[in-house]
Structure 1
Amino acid sequence: MDSLFRQVRSARVSLGATVVLGILVAVATIAQMVFLSKVVDRVFLRGANLEGVSTLLLSMLGAVVVRAGLLWLREITAQQGAVRVKSELRERLFARVLRLGPAYTRGERTGELATTATEGVEKLEAYISRYLPQVFLSALVPLLIALYVLPLDWSSSVLLLITAPVIPILMVLVGSYAEEHLERQWSALSRLGASFVDALQGLPTLKVFGRSAEEREKIEAASEEFRERTMKVLRYAFISGFVLEFMTAMAIALVAVSLGIRLVSGDMPFEVAFLVLLLAPEFYKPLRELGVHRHAGMEGKAAAERIFEILETSVPVRAGAEAPGQLPGELTIKFSSVGYTYPGNEHGALSDLTLTLPAGTRTALVGRS
């Protein structure tokens, strides 16, 4: 996360705006549940007619509309922020590879770099727009609801706060194994992309020497490895989702049983009990959504590690290189016995190059690369 904010400054703005809108959605949800509990209490227990609850119904309708608008705005803000971050990261990645030059790309596989710049950057969309905001919302929204419930029913508020950590703990325990398989899946995808591009680049040579069948078998094996790892990741993701849903249902049931016992015994008014019961699923909802988006977050994290590894690779600087000052008038460039060898290479790329580039002319270098 720190590397993302350091490389892309706009990520902070989009993340902050998404989190603020998410908190406002939670406030609108609390208001909606408050109005709903009042309407149900007055209609079913006090026998109020439509005229008696019309104001509450209009207020509830307004809360629903505001909540829907805030949800739409949060979604748009998150998606636009992710698109900006992806675009800037892809430009930075491409510029960094160009600055690193052939000396760097010669030691890397072209297909792996292409997969990182395309599929790897795309995987960051869910990580930026879904997972990162949900990390903050899963801590702030439950705390906000618990603080609201505290003066109404302190025992339910304490019960919510006690049961809340169980979900993230189970998510980490179940998801840690899936995270390991996700990293292996990304490695398998990188190998598959590298093998495929290498095979396409060398296809004429493979045909000439009759080795295309063996290369096809290698690509088929890499594809099968990626399929198996993807199915393993999905299997553990489904198991993790099942565990989270089960524990959330148990926690809500525990709160409901506690409310029901006190309601029957006459220790709690119906309106308060119904309101707490309505807010209980909203309390656990951010934690459940965090578990849902964790899978996409782990995929984005695995891809981000490789992206930031390339972005943070230092560009080799030649000793004695200085930026030339601005020269007045027209400039004629002359090369006299110029040679150049890439770092780490024994053979020279240029040797004894002599030519003149007159001012105001265009010169084309033609021939085999």
Structure 2
Amino acid sequence: MIDRLLFTLKGSKQIMIKLVGFYVLQAFLIIGQAISLASLLTNLWAGHSLASEWGWLVGFISCFIGRHIINWLDTVLLDNYARKTAQHLRQELLAKLFKLGPQLVQQQGTGNIVTLTLDGISEVENYINLLFSKFVSMMIIPVMLLIVCFWLDWISGLVMLLVYPLIILFMIILGYAAKAKADRQYANFQVLSNHFIDSLRGIDTLKYFGLSKRYSKSIFRSSERFRKSTMSVIRVAMLSTFALDFFTTLSIAVLAVFLGLRLIEGHLLLFPALGILILAPEYFMPIRNFANDYHATLNGKNSFHAVEKILQEEVPPEPHVDLKKWQADSKLELNNVEFQYEHGSQLAPVNINLHGFQKVGIVGMSGAGKTTLINLLGGFLHPTSGTIKIQGQTVKTLNIEDWQKQIIYIL
């Protein structure tokens, strides 16, 4: 359930170290709050006056305020880190998209790329913010509280230790179910995004041929599939949240009854019983928070992996060619240039000779290769055969920075 890819982000180690320090301090404050409150109640039960116990009261209030200060600092730290990381990812993604060119956009769909760049990065920001905080708190606070519970009463500590893995196991089972549904939801969302963009692009053509109503039904079916998958994810999320809350509450209730019986029978003193009873909800709180927010991070996780997959795409090497600004005597020659797609279609051998400032129209039937030729001229595709000569220099591809700076490409 923990995404290892998240820890490859720039600055993740530094933020983890800071969060560990914050949550270790917060664990000490939780322990101090519990010990102060348990001591205060025990002494008041023994007949001491409230005036004589002001030290424990001040200690409880100080620990309580300290916890809120730590929570505020933790929130500010993670908000800043998540925002900066999301901005950096968006810049890297846009830079990579411009380097890879329109071929990648055509493969994944314009709607999907636009949604990923805008909403997807925002979901990644939320994912980073939630997961780092919940993960570190779950790894530190329960361990430190369990040590104190063993010190107060080893039998109660043993019960708490045995219950914790059962909750984790149940959370993992529900987590896998939610992940499968969230993956289907994300796939449906990609289809819906592409359908929407395609409909906007072709609305004039669809209207002209009288197909706009028929196409709207296709969009409606896609949106219905997305709605149903979303509701399915929400059902699993609500069920798992309810189940985990129920089991953790039941565990605390059973522990309270167990402590009460031992207290009545005289096998346990009031101070350790109160201390364990106060620490028990704090012991289960991190895993409850992690489980509750896990479903909220699933879309962010899918978006994060989609962004990383694009960032890992190899960029074709640029030839080291120095080109001048296009002049009246500049020439571009394509001799028997061909291109072969993986799915089988290809661009037939093309011969072009362009010089100076000309106006050239590329005309052909649908599927003749107009877009492929434009992508070749823009350097976004690399010819499978043939030669290209520009300004007297022979190159294998037009993926040349000096050349692409002089091009305006509008799909």
TM-score (norm 1): 0.88
1:250 is aligned to: 250
Distance 2:4 2:174 in 1: 25
SS across alignment from 1:123: helix
Q: State the AA in 2 paired with 1:3.
A: L
Number of equivalent positions: 355
Whether the aligned pair in 2 keeps the contact of 1:82 and 1:129 (CA below 8 Å) is: yes
Paired position in structure 2 for 1:137: 137
- Look up the equivalent residue of 1:141 and give its one-letter code: I
Contact 1:178–1:237 under 8 Å retained in 2: yes
Residues 125-162 of structure 1: CA deviation (Å, up to 9, x unaligned): 33211123312322321111111222221111111111
Letter in 1 for 2:240: S
Tell whether 2:283 aligns with 1:283. yes
Q: How much has 1:240 moved relative to structure 2?
A: 0.4
Q: What secondary structure sits across from 1:337 in the alignment?
A: strand
Name the counterpart of 1:192: 192
Q: How much has 1:293 moved relative to structure 2?
A: 1.2
Equivalent AA in structure 1 for residue 189 of structure 2 = L
**Whole-Å separation in 2 of the counterparts to 1:136 and 1:12:** 12
| SS across alignment from 1:40 | helix
1:336 maps to what in 2?
331
CA 190–38 in structure 1, closer or farther in 2 if over 3 Å, else same:
same
- What is the match of residue 169 of structure 1? 169
How well do the aligned residues superpose, as a CA RMSD in angstroms? 2.6
CA distance in 2, matches of 1:263, 1:365: 82
Quick one: which amino acid aligns to residue 129 of structure 2?
S
Per-residue deviation at 1:295?
Answer: 0.4
Q: Matched residues in 1 for 2:61 and 2:350: separation?
A: 73
Deviations 1:193-251 (A, max 9, x none): 11101111111221222211122111111111111111111011111011101110121
Aligned to 1:233: 233
Output the amino acid matched with 2:10.
R
Cα 1:200–1:153 change in 2 (3 A) is same
Deviation at 1:317, TM superposition (A): 2.6
Deviations along 1:78-130, one digit per CA (max 9) or x if unpaired, are 22211111111111111111110123223331001111112222222332111
Secondary structure of the equivalent of 1:317? coil
CA distance in structure 2 between the partners assigned to 1:40 and 1:275 by the alignment = 10
Determine the C-alpha separation between the residues in 1 that align with 2:98 and 2:285: 45
Q: Compared with structure 1, are the counterparts of its residues 152 and 5 closer, same or farther at alpha carbon in structure 2 (3 Å cutoff)?
A: closer
2:320 is aligned to: 322
Deviation at 1:261, TM superposition (A): 1.9
Distance 1:149 1:355 in 2: 84
Secondary structure of the 2:152 match is: coil
1:3 aligns with 2:1: no
Q: Whose RCO is larger (CA < 8 A, sep 6+)?
A: 1
Taking the aligned partners of 1:229 and 1:323, their CA distance within structure 2 comes to 51
Q: CA shift at 1:48, angstroms? A: 1.8
Aligned-partner Cα distance in 2 for 1:305–1:352: 44
SS at match of 2:137: helix
Q: Structure 2 length normalisation: TM-score?
A: 0.80
Question: What is residue 355 of structure 1 aligned with on the other side?
Answer: 356
**2:368 aligned residue:** none
- Structure 1: which amino acid aligns with 2:5? S
Q: Distance in 1 between matches of 2:114 and 2:96?
A: 13
Deviation of the 1:351 alpha carbon: 3.4
Aligned to 2:377: none
Q: Once the 2 structures are TM-superposed, how far is the Cα of residue 23 of structure 1 from its aligned partner?
A: 3.0
CA contact (8 A) 2:150 2:156 kept: yes
After TM superposition, give the deviation of residue 341 of structure 1 in Å: 7.3
Q: Which residue in 2 is equivalent to 1:24?
A: 25
Letter in 2 for 1:149: C
- Determine the C-alpha separation between the residues in 2 that align with 1:24 and 1:366: 56
1:37 equivalent to 2:35? Answer: no
After superposition, the Cα gap between the structure-2 partners of 1:366 and 1:17, relative to the gap in structure 1 and judged at 3 Å, is: closer
The equivalent residue for 1:122 is 122
Aligned to 2:211: 211
**In structure 1, C-alpha distance between the alignment counterparts of 2:13 and 2:289, rounded to whole Å:** 21
CA distance in 1, matches of 2:205, 2:259: 75
Match of 1:69 in 2: 69
Distance 1:275 1:368 in 2: 69
Query: Structure 1: where are the runs of 5+ without partners?
Result: 358-362
Of 158-167 and 127-136, the range deviating more from structure 2: 127-136
Whether the 8 Å contact between 1:163 and 1:251 is mirrored in structure 2 is yes
Query: Is residue 23–residue 136 contact of structure 2 (8 Å, CA) maintained in 1?
Result: no
Residue 365 and residue 293 in structure 1: after superposition, are their counterparts in 2 closer, same or farther (change >3 A)? closer
Distance apart, 1:366 and its partner CA: 8.9
User: 1 CA distance for matches of 2:350 and 2:252?
Assistant: 70
Contact kept? 1:19, 1:133, Cα under 8 Å: no
Equivalent residues of 1:141, 1:283 under 8 A apart = yes
**Hey, what does 2:360 align to over in structure 1?**
none
Identify if the C-alpha distance between structure 1 residues 343 and 132 changes in structure 2 by more than 3 Å, giving closer, same or farther. farther
**Residues 342 and 349 in structure 1, CA contact (< 8 A), matched pair in contact too:** no
Q: Deviations over 1:247-300 (max 9, x none)?
A: 101211222122112211222211111011100111111111111011023222
Alpha-carbon offset, residue 348 of structure 1: 8.6
Matches within 5 A, 1:269-308: 269-308=269-308
Quote the Cα distance in structure 1 between the aligned partners of 2:141 and 2:197.
46
- Contact 1:341-1:350 at 8 Å conserved across structures: no
Larger mean Cα displacement after TM superposition, 190-199 or 98-107: 98-107
Is the 1:15–1:78 contact (alpha carbons within 8 Å) kept by the matching residues of 2?
A: no
Segments of 5+ residues of structure 2 without an aligned counterpart are: 358-390, 392-404
Q: Is the 8 A contact 2:96 2:311 kept in 1?
A: yes
